[in-house]
Amino acid sequence: MNKKVELLAPAGDIDRLKISLLYGADAVYFGGQDYSLRANANNFSIDEIKDACSFAHNLNKKVYLTLNIVFHNEDLENVNKFIKEVVDAGIDAFIVSDPFIIKYIKDNFNVEVHLSTQGSTTNKESVKFWKNEGIDRVVLAREVSIKEMKEIYDETGLDLEVFIHGAMCTFYSGRCCLSNYFTNRDSNRGGCAQICRFAFDIDNEETKFTMATKDLNVSSIIDKLINAGVRSLKVEGRMRSLYYLATVISSYRKLIDAYYDGSLNEELIKKEEKILSRVANRETSTHYYLKEADFTDQYYTGRQELSNQDFLALVLDYDNENKIATITERNYFKVGDDVEIFTPNGDIYSFKVEKLYDENMNPIDVARHPEEILKLYVPYEVVKDSMMRVKIK
């Protein structure tokens, strides 16, 4: 295994795609406007897919397109036309679960096909089967342990991809039927209503019942996954914010790079764990990776999701001569606050807000209007798309 493991990021739109790649992802995955399991994301038109491929390939990075719904007869009507269009647009691989779609792509196009986690692949014999069918990579079911991953890799040698961070479906490899039953929205055709996160009334009980899984977070065991032979580490979150993606991708980029240069240690892991714990509002666990998942990996009878306002501003430009950053505000902050700016290249600069101006360079003391364009004195040279947050101590 000489090749460095891939860090794979989600992209709900072109802005998220660019941020994910700039902050360290090696590849991105997204859906087109049809056939994707995230129908509520903005998703990509054909022209946007062309732009996405151009942007990624200019950075020597890759683009994967999700084509992983459970197909019914009516879904097949124009899929061959769509497949040709996105191949011509320049994608590097499809993520697919339907056997017919897999065969059609392999028979007609010279492009990689990755078996989606929707395929529920949990054992080495299934991986051998798909390898014989021409699959280039298998995204393993979320219920596979690290021990099993190593056994599968040692036996098959096929590229394996696993999730490392984000929201995980309560049901087996995402095969949920509750969304259909309660809302007539087919979760396996892109219409998930997140029924597992509903709070249900129980007869004669004051406490409501919930059954949602905690989010996945493997920052503490990244070395174990790489050592098991996994070739791609996948972050969930096509509908997450720019700040979330920048933070999560940046943290895992540092952990992965530290593994390869020999500097991965407990201090770095704890630091990145703290950063990751502040960017999301749910508890996390490692789910099935180290043990059989149990009640400690899920929320039962209620949960708290407390959002924070750590994300303060996005850097639009920087005047090096005057040390003034043009920013768009995201949350309240004021002169005297301790903040930090983290950049796409991994640098973090901490400072106290000393001088703040409106768009016309009139001095102000407080930033209180989200999306307002402001000017900020920053004593360090920062670049476009850097992000300012509350200083994490």
Q: Give pLDDT, residue 2.
A: 57
> Which helix (DSSP H) or strand (DSSP E) does residue 82 occupy?
helix 79-89
Question: Quick one: CA torsion of 285, 291, 293, 297, rounded to 10 degrees?
Answer: -20
Domains of the chain are: 6-172+198-297 (3.20.20.70), 311-390 (2.40.30.10)
pLDDT at 189: 56
Q: Which pLDDT score is estimated for 219?
A: 96
Interhelix angle 46-58/14-22, rounded to 10 degrees, is 10
Beta carbons of 157 and 166 less than 8 angstroms apart: no
Distance (Å, whole) CA 175 – CA 169: 8
pLDDT, residue 207, reads: 78
Angle between the 46-58 and 79-89 helix axes, to the nearest 10 degrees?
30
- Quick one: CA dihedral 126, 130, 132, 135, positive or negative? negative
pTM of the full predicted structure?
A: 0.91
- Running along the chain, 393 residues long, what does each successive block of 10 average in pLDDT? 87 95 97 67 85 98 92 89 96 95 96 94 97 97 95 98 88 68 64 72 78 88 97 92 96 98 97 91 85 78 68 97 97 97 96 97 96 97 97 90
Strands 366-367 and 333-334, sheet pairing:
antiparallel
